[in-house]
Amino acid sequence: MNNHFLDLNNYGVEDLERIIKNSLELKSKNKVSDALEGKFLGLIFEKSSTRTRVSFEVAMTQLGGKASFLSVNDLQLGRGEPIEDTAIVLSSMVDGLVLRTIDHETQLKFSENSSVPVINGLSNKSHPCQLLADLLTFYEEKGSIKGKKVAWCGDFNNVCFSYAQAAELFDFELWVACPKEFLSVEDYKFKNVTYTQSVSEAVKDSELISTDVWISMGDETESKERIEAFKNYQVNEKVLDQARSDVMFLHCLPAVKGQEISTTLLDDQRSRVWRQAENRLHAQKGLLLELLN
């Protein structure tokens, strides 16, 4: 198993399934343990976060360890200390690091110079920790996702990228409904992914529908054109009606109600969004035990 978790495909499906299984077991036992006693996790964030930050901090505490949040502006990194030097020094002191970075390149550079595991807590490219929680939420209620039809509606962003990797690894059928101008050549390279400009086609008979904001952190200058381009890609109750009657709706959050989802969708009976958010904590515990233990 790779020492770092920068993308889902750093691990094989057996590793990921083991992490999900262990996370669910910890959740069912509501277990507080001392498995990571004496271990220290550093969190370096270049962007805002609610769920990722708090779930890692609480996960470390519940496993007997400690975590510290290090905003880039408070580190010498923010004043120009090289990423490589920061990685060498910090990894000589802590047992693991979570990075939320503007550029994925920073994750690569950091991990190449880190002697302890580096976890990607979101980059412009991907969000593998989110997928651990999403897959866990599906497994928890519906079992294996293999062979299932999953729909993604909206921007092919970092979260969608990790869904596309998950589709290859877990062998499910991902339908991505996204305007062509927001798909790059790179986005078309995935196995098990079908691209469409029709939300109806994507969600028809699907068992899982997921979406995310149209304007991710860093895309703010394109707000106007994005709102226009994605206006027919909203997920609402009528969209869910076109899927299987037992469809599960997920959203990584934060959401912009009235844009990518209708104002009432988070509380629809088919939504598992609140459970999904809580599952970030359980998934991080499974991941930390695997990497830091």
Q: Is 217 in the site for ligand NVA (CB under 6 A)?
A: yes
Out of 111, 158, 210, 284, name the contact with ligand NVA by CB under 6 A.
158
Task: Please say which residue, 97 or 252, places its beta carbon nearer to ligand CP.
Answer: 252
The CA–CA distances, whole Å, from 228 to 36, 219, 233 equal 48, 14, 10
Q: Is 50 in the site for ligand CP (CB under 6 A)?
A: yes
Contact partner at residue 158 from ligand CP, ligand NVA, none, CB < 5 to 8 Å by partner kind: ligand NVA
Give every CB contact of residue 272 below 8 A, 6+ residues apart in sequence: 137, 141, 248, 249, 250
Task: Please say which residue, 35 or 54, places its beta carbon nearer to ligand CP.
Answer: 54
Q: Is 51 in the site for ligand CP (CB under 6 A)?
A: yes
Q: Which residues are catalytic?
A: 100, 127, 130, 212, 252, 280
Q: Is 52 in the site for ligand CP (CB under 6 A)?
A: yes
Distance CA 106, CA 84 (A): 9
Question: How large is the angle between the packed helices 83-91 and 104-112, nearest 10 degrees?
Answer: 50
Of residues 170 through 229, those in contact with ligand CP by CB under 6 A are: none
Binding mask 224-253 for ligand CP (x = CB under 6 A): ----------------------------xx
Distance CA 59, CA 65 (A): 9
Contact partner at residue 50 from ligand CP, ligand NVA, none, CB < 5 to 8 Å by partner kind: ligand CP
Q: Is 132 in the site for ligand NVA (CB under 6 A)?
A: no
Distance CA 192, CA 225 (A): 29
By beta carbon distance, the residue nearest ligand NVA is 216
Out of 126, 162, 211, 216, name the contact with ligand NVA by CB under 6 A.
216
DSSP state for residue 263 in the 8-state scheme? T
Give every CB contact of residue 171 below 8 A, 6+ residues apart in sequence: 146, 147, 192
Contact 117, 96 (CB under 8 A): yes
Distance CA 120, CA 98 (A): 6
Task: Please say which residue, 220 or 246, places its beta carbon nearer to ligand NVA.
Answer: 220
Among the residue ranges 27-35, 208-216, 240-248, 257-265, the one whose residues contact ligand NVA (CB under 6 A): 208-216
Contact 265, 42 (CB under 8 A): no
Place of tokens 């921007």: 155
Residues that bind ligand NVA (CB under 6 A): 122, 157-159, 212-213, 216-217, 252
Residues that bind ligand CP (CB under 6 A): 49-52, 122, 130, 252-253
